[in-house]
Amino acid sequence: MRLTRWFAALFIIFVFGAIEIRAGGPRPAVGPAAEDAQQFAALGDFQLRSGAVIHDFRLGYRTLGKLNAEKSNAILWPTWLGGRTEDLLGFIGPGKMVDSGKYFVILVDSIGNGVSTSPSNSERQPLLNFPEFTIRDMVESERRLVTEVFHLPHLRAVMGISMGGMQTFEWAVAYPDFMDLAIPLAGSPQSTSFDKLLWTSEIEAIELDPVWNNGRPTGPLTLGFAVSEEIQSMHLYSAPYRATHTGPVEFPEFLAELKKNAKGDGGTAWNQIRQRQAIIAHDIPAEFGVTLEQATQRVSAKMLMMNSPYDLMVNPIPAQEFARAMGAALVTVDSTCGHVSFLCMSVGPIVAQFLSDPTSVHSTTLQDPVNH
């Protein structure tokens, strides 16, 4: 979805200053890959936990920095909903959230994002023939990348934003001894009914498009994407933020711009649907047959969680309860910017400090003096 790409660009510009956003589609590496180049791991037939199989599965990734001799400085960072690894490049580098001068960073294109094998690019299982997958399946694909391609038995950290944060929670519970640190930002260990209502509404908006044709679109889904985009925008920020920053006079132009950018084909639609279905199904306590508090007892990694109480896209309550139950550091970003509160406040230094010395970071509240 275009809003997720727009979110990425704004995040980088506001938090880290303007940088070049790389355009274009995925480019396979030829010979030794340059730093941050798009690469692919061919994982063959990838069996999902449901028993279904994604055939000819390729997982997209990029690396930055160098692996040290002890192989102890690797950080895994999967993408958010609709995001691509190129969107994460602005977070990486000297003086940024993750210093590639210190760490070997593996950025991963989550299943279904249009770079890794997805409904939009699968030759054998296009569109609705592409099987449903889960957040756990994303993690399993990433684990294969780390162990089979990089031959790493351990990671310094796993981290991610939004859907990437959901994967981080999954990693911490499913493979508790595989990483030292876990840093979910605006993520959650389970989707609440409010979350499910949001993602279901967006899926149904796409499927109600006049050209949907039972999952085999006969043309661009202009109306479906427009309504889905409106729902997304309504939850990206909080109500106070939107009311303050978009007045009655500006609203028609704001809405027109949303609709102008809301377009896509059947491949784009199915990418969005499949990733949203994964988020809807996300429920770590149910997956392991335990309570949320019991799930925290499986975690060995030190955790740093960040979220905003105004987040309408990923309900912050499960993550808050998770942090309290395990006594983990919880940074509350008190900003009406909601899900994208990290746009409005720089949290990079806190993450960098936690990566360097996790015992020095404690629970705190960051007050946004402008957007509150």
User: If the chain, 372 residues long, is cut into consecutive pieces of 10 residues, what is the mean pLDDT of each piece?
Assistant: 44 33 32 79 98 98 98 98 96 94 98 98 98 98 98 98 98 98 98 98 97 96 95 96 95 93 93 98 98 98 97 98 98 96 89 97 94 83
Tokens of 324: 């309290």
Phi, psi values for residue 365, rounded to 5°: -120, 130
Give the pLDDT score at 4.
45
Q: Which is nearest to 279 in space by CA: 79, 60, 41, 36?
A: 79
Cβ atoms within 10 Å, residue 222: 15
CA distance 84 to 20: 15
Give the pLDDT score at 22.
29
Give the pLDDT score at 370.
86
DSSP letter for each residue of 121-152: T-SSS-GGGSPP--HHHHHHHHHHIIIIIS--
CA distance 200 to 197: 5
Tokens of 302: 């030190």
CB burial of residue 365 (10 Å; 0-12, 13-18, 19+): exposed
Give the pLDDT score at 33.
64
CA distance 158 to 173: 12
Strands of the 179-185 sheet, one edge to the other: 39-47, 53-64, 104-108, 74-78, 155-161, 179-185, 302-307, 329-334, 364-367
CA distance 353 to 102: 12
Tokens of 366: 């960051």
CA distance 260 to 120: 22
List domains and CATH numbers for the chain. Answer: 2-14+35-191+282-367 (3.40.50.1820), 196-278 (1.10.1740)
DSSP letter for each residue of 152-166: -S-EEEEEEETHHHH
Tokens of 323: 């942090």
Amino acid identity of residue 311, one-letter, is: D
CA 311 vs. chain centroid, Å, equals: 15
CA distance 302 to 354: 9
